[in-house]
Structure 1
Amino acid sequence: MTESTEPVKINKWDGAAAKNAIDDAIREVLTGDLKCKESFALIDGRLFLCALAVGVALYALLWDYLYPFPQSRLVLIICVSSYFVLMGILTLYTTFKEKGIFVVAKEKVGNVTRVWEASSYVKKHDDKYNLVLVLREPSGKTREASINKTFANYIDSNGTIVQNLVASEVTKLYNSLSSEKKEK
């Protein structure tokens, strides 16, 4: 756990808040305890698409201001169409590229940089937290491990995240994926 951070307290009956708090605790374990460096490339891709869409919308707004509606009709049609296409691409990006990944961390081992991806999901009306930890080797090999436990395993009766339990689970997954390479 990083220096003097206060325990995170949430409404333990709010599934989304519990999931997000546990996600943050896992991010803290990967980037703090396990000494990996967080990579923001995945989030930067989403931000680029969003910025491009906002730029198109602002261009349409400015063009319509300078050349009122009858003159700006073609530009507005192109900009609105482009905006919806970009939103479609953004939806595909978040669905198929991000896949619920909330942290990407890089670990330098000798001359090799391994990439760790953590993603999670909670089914609707379920108290099970599903964590998937993926290790991507530079050689192209991918290994993954997952756990499926209730929120009660990570949150105490007061609604406080128990960082030691989260760290223990993540470290077990991390060690199991790291040791698989050594055995083979």
Structure 2
Amino acid sequence: MSSSTNTNDISSKPIKINKWESNALKNTLNDACKKYFKETLNYTEDYSVMNRRLCIALIACLFSLYALVYDWFNPFPKSRSVLIVCTVSYFIIIGILTFYMQFIESGRFFTGKLIDKTGIDPAQKCKIISKLKKYDDIYNLTLEYHDGKNTSTSSVEVLKKSVGNYFDENGVLCYDKYINDLKKIYDHARSNARKVK
């Protein structure tokens, strides 16, 4: 399944970024990782974590919109209590959103599952989290692999390397180097999950 890596499409279009911007470095590596899991390993991305975040943000926006519309039809002295309730509710929802992003989502940028085409084996799942501190060059990627046969066990592998290993002096992503490291930790996680059984 993960024996071959086809990178011809990436090689023809090199990805160049500002190598001094940590967010650009992290996002480029995250996007390359997603591309590898979706296109090469044929994982299907699960958007449930992102959808929950969007729902929380939508609720906050609805409180704001309701306050705006209500104040339009009932100018300030009449809308005072509604504005207070909506403002307080908005900040409570934004607090919940911040908590969700910090502690539940917590840097997770990909959740996917690999469905067995024969239908014999259950789906395998992967969760991938990345971290890159603002003035640090060490890129941390944590891959949590769940074998579908035993949901109670999972294998966790960590990739911890300098971003300098994956970008050249001009800020161009060395896709093959990054994918080779990804492939190693993915294969190691799969073999560890099999040993646990």
TM-score range, shorter chain: over 0.9
User: Aligned to 1:88, what secondary structure does the other structure show?
Assistant: helix
Q: Which residue of 2 aligns with 1:117?
A: 127
Letter in 2 for 1:21: T
Q: Which amino acid aligns with 1:16?
A: N
Question: TM-score, normalised on structure 2?
Answer: 0.87
- Are 1:20 and 2:32 counterparts? no
Partner of 1:155: 167
Which residue in the other structure is 2:3 paired with? none
TM-score by length of 1: 0.93
**Change in CA separation of 1:2 and 1:72 when aligned onto 2, cut-off 3 Å:** farther
Q: CA deviation at 1:142?
A: 2.8
**Which structure has more strand as a fraction of its residues?**
1
- Higher normalized contact order (CA 8 Å, seq sep 6+, divided by chain length): 1
Structure 1 residue 136 corresponds to structure 2 residue 146: yes
Task: From 74, 86, 98, give the equivalent of 2:93.
Answer: 86
Output the CA distance in 2 between the equivalents of 1:46 and 1:63.
26
**Structure 2: which 5+ residue stretches go unaligned?**
1-5
The percentage of aligned residue pairs carrying the same residue is 34
Hey, what's the Cα distance between the residues in 2 that align with 1:87 and 1:145? Answer: 33
Q: Deviations over 1:131-161 (max 9, x none)?
A: 1111234523232110110111111222111
The alpha-carbon deviation at position 124 of structure 1 amounts to 3.4
How many pairs does the alignment contain? 184
Change (3 A) 1:2 1:32: farther
Q: Distance in 1 between matches of 2:175 and 2:90?
A: 42
